[in-house]
Structure 1
């Protein structure tokens, strides 16, 4: 969790405490407020100390219980401010996976130069429908989110039209284990590897593969996207992070450039892909 995010959460907690202590009908104790809301005392404490992220509903109930319902919009604006950077999967996936895919489509459509590093799976913009279906299904099962898989797959496939825009350039790095990871049935992965080989040589795409045998100056870490050197998008198990401060951007750009030093391209990249394909079909 980023320092900026935690600081914002703690600041919101201080504001909640202020509202509790300055209730119009008299100062409320944490226990009294918890009783009014039907919450455990620990929830009030965690929200005020910035140890738990409030929901919009939590904020509305808090403002009303403190006799200051008009402050809800202010509280909601504070929450929206730091949620725009840290987007929990629990909140994002309430409406399913399609809205998340649509958001990524919009972000990539607004960008001219896109850099990516991926160490876990093939990036969405290069996925086949069957591969996307397998990955999204497993994600939905993990997060116990609505199973709008076909709508999400169609949205992800629409992103691929951006590859044919002459004004856009994709610089994508994949770690070799991605080519061998059975996050889908073997036959689906074979077709996906064929798709990757076909991408090499496209005017708009520079695809590099970092072989397992390459010397790495930094650990592979998690995947991320950099959009026009203005925004980084990365994810962890519980959330997506959309980051735009200068120091963070500079760090991710240095990381990407360092990983790029270990990548192979063109015919050498095709050879790595073909070796992974042969390993699948030889069993």
Structure 2
């Protein structure tokens, strides 16, 4: 995008300073846009093409901008209207997806979360980005998305490390309820829930979570943005990584035994804490 805009400026015979002056912009803005240190808005592109006589390229550039924004959606922008609109967007994508392959390295996957656990996770958007606090609506939307788990035309394969089961992202009671939920969902016929035992040997490091939707796209969440990867080689790479994780995971009774072990450890810790609190 920046390279293409620089070409239009140069073709118009304008320096960066001259273009900035004609648009009443600080000169640094032109430089930042051309070097990809600042993303232009749609208004910026329209102004740029008018000033450089490149209006014939406006639609093409706007399409490219929208594609970039879809592939790298900054949470600050995505969550500004609130948390629920993003859940609705995910629901639309869910409805089109037949096969889900989801790996999470630090959290319970959203489609498997209880309402209480989901509430604690969605609160992160409010804390980090001052998003409109519509958590109640967002939680309802996330739980509505889970109705897909009971549809026979959908297939789900989840993989998480055992450490996720003990990571204290919610209080003990919430975590115990969440582990019980995992136990129940793991018995559904269209769900494969793999738990990677803490003693398993990794070939590839579990650096971050991701969700593969059919063979069409991969969603990756970072602290600052949601990445929407659609290139064939990227999808193939993440598919290969997922298979590596799936190969070392435990399933069925073995997976439920790991969940039960985590729940027992958590319950034991809670009992000990309650006894200490009850001492005079």
Q: Secondary structure at the match of 1:282?
A: helix
Q: Superposition RMSD on alpha carbons, in Å?
A: 1.9
How many residue pairs match? The answer is 269
User: TM-score, normalization: structure 1?
Assistant: 0.88
2:6 is matched with which residue? Answer: 17
- Post-superposition, which runs of at least 4 consecutive aligned residues in structure 1 deviate over 6 A? none
Could you tell me which of 60, 82, 85 is aligned with 2:68?
Answer: 82
Could you tell me which of 198, 209, 222 is aligned with 2:208?
Answer: 222
Structure 2, gaps ≥5 residues long: 270-280
Moved more, 43-52 or 134-143: 43-52
User: TM-score, normalization: structure 2?
Assistant: 0.88
Cα offset, 1:36, TM superposition: 4.2
Cα offset, 1:55, TM superposition: 2.4
Do the aligned partners of residues 40 and 200 (structure 1) sit closer, same or farther apart at CA in structure 2, a change above 3 Å counting?
Answer: same
Do the aligned partners of residues 69 and 250 (structure 1) sit closer, same or farther apart at CA in structure 2, a change above 3 Å counting?
Answer: closer
- Give CA-to-partner distance per residue, 1:81-125, whole Å, 9 cap, x none: 222322222221222221211121111211111111111111111
Whole-Å separation in 1 of the counterparts to 2:54 and 2:158: 50
Whole-Å separation in 1 of the counterparts to 2:162 and 2:43: 44
1:163 is matched with which residue? Answer: 149
Whole-Å separation in 1 of the counterparts to 2:53 and 2:76: 29
Structure 1, gaps ≥5 residues long: 1-11
**Conservation of the 8 A alpha-carbon contact between 2:79 and 2:125:** no
1:60 is matched with which residue? Answer: 46
- Give CA-to-partner distance per residue, 1:167-187, whole Å, 9 cap, x none: 111010011121111122221
1:257 is matched with which residue? Answer: 243
Q: Secondary structure at the match of 1:167?
A: coil
1:208 is matched with which residue? Answer: 194
Cα offset, 1:68, TM superposition: 5.5
